Amino acid sequence: MSPRTPTVLWPSDLSTSSRGVCYGWERPLLLVAGVLPVGEDKEEDVRELLTSVTVLPQWRAVRDMFSSDPTIIGFCEPPVSSRRGAPPSFRLVGNAPALSTAEGIQVVLYQRHRRQTMRFYAFDFTELDILPLQDSAHDPSPSSVKNAEAVLQSDFTRTHAAASRRSASLDAEVLSQANFAQLLADLVERRSRMRDTQPPALSTPLTSTPERPSTPVIPPAAGTSERRSRYEPLRRAASELHVILRDLSTTADQLDVRFEQSIYVAGELPHVYHDKARTVTSISKYIKFHNCVWLVLNDVIIGVAFGSFLCENRRVLAAWLEYVMQHYLVHRMELALLWLNNWPAGLKLNTELSQFYCHSLIGVVSAWGWLLARAAPYFPTVIGAIGIAGCCGMTMIVSLLSDTLSLLTAHLYACYYISATVFRHQLSLAGSLWNLFRGKRYNVLRNRIDSWDYELDQLLLGTILFTLLAFLYPTVLTYYALFATARLAIMMVHAVLDTVTALLNHFPLFALLLRVKDPLRLPGGICIQRTKAGPLLLTSQPAPLSSIFRHYAHLAARLTTHYHPLRMLRQLAVGRVMTPIPRSAIRYSMIPVRGKAGVSRLHS
């Protein structure tokens, strides 16, 4: 096919036997939005009709998405061929030569979607914002545009009307024209009926409604800036306290998430149900809004069901919890410490240091066990309170369970922190003595290791310290390994609870249901196919499941990176304190935070 072959996008639901004036857009591609069944002599009336439509509020809401207003394209004639489904022939208005299917015009059929169906064409699923990771964008990604243009270059490259202006390709503007072609056709048909029923004196084109005078801006008071500067330290302190509470308590972070979701739902409710434009952006907001509402409702339903189970069985669960705490977290740890103090498996530890470790850590564990025994009668009340919190959702129950686990195992964390600190400082001292024997030292100013000449007394002192360190290291390592193993087991439980919370807060449930019910509402690209009748057909491809779960892939990557076994082993080897993943790393802000480039960033 010649690169100069004219290309026309024609509605597939429009009758090819109709006769009338075609209207639509001439650039970037020749796109027909509809046909008015009037004679060619009514061209001026149709032009006035289109002008009156472009000033209507329904069209002004989407006018910014197009570089030009709709205009008259040509006069449609019945097809020359009597074959069913044959494409129409028409000719352009003006001095341009007539275009006809017999002359090799390339016809691409497309479907005009109604706004009520919320179906539309899009290059890539990443144009949508169904999850609170980024704001929706009007333009597709450069790679998707490039791929679409590459596909179309094999069929056509230029239209006849705009060949001298720009290179024609199926870009985002053409898809926007196809998405709103049905809206334009409905407005034109409605306006045409109004003109036919109204008296001639009233059939003048509509004019734009005068804008209301803007409200005068009241300048701020003179003391406003002073009051703001006075309360600025308080705001900063409150913000820092808010961040600290979120990092320390999973429940506080979940309350912040629920508060943010409430603000988002309250703010988006008027726009979702009263938006007349129904653009790609508004549809993506609609999906994101209902995904948030569905997640909250399902969270509450599951939370109420599980909370009722906790309330009904709180005494049995309290007795089981008391047994587990006393048996595994107190008595078992005391027995393990006594076993380590008696040369375990023939390993001869330093007697004095081992006894110091054993007596000190057993004192911490016994004191915490005494506190747990005194708090045991209140366990049913605590479990009942957690069950009642299920009215706020299953995520609230999981968050409370995570905080309760941290509180009940505080003695293990204290013992682990003490043993890890001693072990880490011992490794640091061993590294310094190793540099001493090699005739080197660490340069603090330049952050490097330099050569250095030590005196004899310094080398003698270093040898004595290294001997003491070598004989005390197995004892420190043994007790550190015990509590590091316990801490690692608790971290795995926290990882499971964090994963459950992330699933309940950010699962794309509504998007998956749309993918099953109506895949065209989640477009994942476009495809041009050749039909049996001859012309090409522009179809929308449903979004793949991988693109729907792309946000969850990022979330899973963060969880996997933080709880990776090699990373945990590396932290254990160097004595670094292991902590659960920060709350800000596994949550997305419902309220978008825009950066300098206009791209939303993660809530941190």
The model's pLDDT over 82-104, given as tens digits with 9 standing for 90+, comes to 455 555 555 554 434 455 554 55
411 confidence band (pLDDT: 50, 70, 90): very high
Burial letters for 498-533: b for 16+ Cβ neighbours within 10 Å, e otherwise? bbbbbebbbbbebbbebbeeeebbbbbbbebeeeee
Q: Above 70 in pLDDT, residue 276?
A: no
In this structure, of 96-110, 257-271, 330-344, 530-544, the range with the lowest mean pLDDT score is 96-110
Place of tokens 């993506």: 284
Task: Cis check for the bond before 28: say yes or no (omega within 30 of 0).
Answer: yes
Q: Kindly give the interhelix angle for 394-408 and 410-437, rounded to the nearest 10 degrees.
A: 60
The model's pLDDT over 234-258, given as tens digits with 9 standing for 90+, comes to 778 777 777 777 778 889 888 888 8
What is the three-state SS of 273-341?
Answer: HHCCCCCHHHHHHHHHHHHHHHHHHHHHHHHHHHHHHHHHCHHHHHHHHHHHHHHHHHHHHHHHHHHHH
Amino acid (1-letter code) at residue 256: D
The model's pLDDT over 542-560, given as tens digits with 9 standing for 90+, comes to 877 777 777 777 778 888 8
**Amino acid 82: pLDDT:** 47
In this structure, of 285-289, 369-373, 533-537, the range with the lowest mean pLDDT score is 533-537
Q: Kindly give the interhelix angle for 314-324 and 379-388, rounded to the nearest 10 degrees.
A: 120
Which carries the bigger pLDDT value, residue 134 or residue 215?
215
**Amino acid 368: pLDDT:** 94
In this structure, of 174-183, 213-222, 544-553, the range with the lowest mean pLDDT score is 213-222
What is the distance between the alpha carbons of residues 22 and 72, in angstroms, rounded to a whole number?
A: 6
Q: Are strands 7-11 and 106-110 parallel, antiparallel or unpaired?
A: parallel
80 confidence band (pLDDT: 50, 70, 90): low
What is the distance between the alpha carbons of residues 133 and 254, in angstroms, rounded to a whole number?
A: 18
Instruction: Report how far apart, in Å, the C-alpha atoms of 219 and of each of 214, 222, 225, 275, 310 are.
Output: 15, 9, 12, 32, 57
Q: Above 70 in pLDDT, residue 309?
A: yes
Residue 547 is encoded by which pair of tokens?
């693109």
What is the distance between the alpha carbons of residues 545 and 490, in angstroms, rounded to a whole number?
A: 34
Q: What region does 497 belong to: left with phi over 0, alpha with psi -120 to 50, or beta?
A: alpha
Instruction: Tell me the percentage of the chain whose pLDDT exceeds 90.
Output: 23
288 confidence band (pLDDT: 50, 70, 90): confident
Residues in the chain: 604
**Mean pLDDT across 104-133:** 68
Q: Which of 141-145, 175-179, 335-339 has the highest mean pLDDT?
A: 335-339
In this structure, of 156-160, 171-175, 363-367, 389-393, the range with the lowest mean pLDDT score is 156-160
**Amino acid 17: pLDDT:** 62
pTM for the complete prediction?
0.72
Q: Kindly give the interhelix angle for 351-375 and 456-506, rounded to the nearest 10 degrees.
A: 30
Contact 588, 603 (CB under 8 A): yes
Q: Which of 171-180, 398-407, 583-592 has the highest mean pLDDT?
A: 398-407
Q: Kindly give the interhelix angle for 250-274 and 280-312, rounded to the nearest 10 degrees.
A: 140
What is the chain's Cα-based Rg? 36
Q: Above 70 in pLDDT, residue 278?
A: no
- Partners of residue 76 on adjacent β-strands: 20, 90
Q: Above 80 in pLDDT, residue 208?
A: no
Q: Above 90 in pLDDT, residue 50?
A: no
564 confidence band (pLDDT: 50, 70, 90): confident
Contacts of 604 (CB under 8 A, 6+ apart): 584
Backbone angles phi, psi at 443, to 5 degrees: -90, 110
Q: Above 70 in pLDDT, residue 156?
A: no
**Mean pLDDT across 335-350:** 84
Backbone angles phi, psi at 204, to 5 degrees: -80, 155
Contact 390, 306 (CB under 8 A): yes
Q: What is the mean pLDDT of the chain?
A: 76
Which carries the bigger pLDDT value, residue 260 or residue 525?
260
**Mean pLDDT across 526-530:** 80
What is the distance between the alpha carbons of residues 564 and 282, in angstroms, rounded to a whole number?
A: 39
The model's pLDDT over 162-175, given as tens digits with 9 standing for 90+, comes to 333 334 577 778 88
307 confidence band (pLDDT: 50, 70, 90): very high
**Mean pLDDT across 183-188:** 84
What is the distance between the alpha carbons of residues 384 and 307, in angstroms, rounded to a whole number?
A: 8
What is the distance between the alpha carbons of residues 180 and 110, in angstroms, rounded to a whole number?
A: 12
Is residue 6 helix, strand or coil?
Answer: coil
Q: Cα–chain-centroid distance for residue 548?
A: 10
In this structure, of 14-23, 212-221, 265-274, 383-392, the range with the lowest mean pLDDT score is 212-221
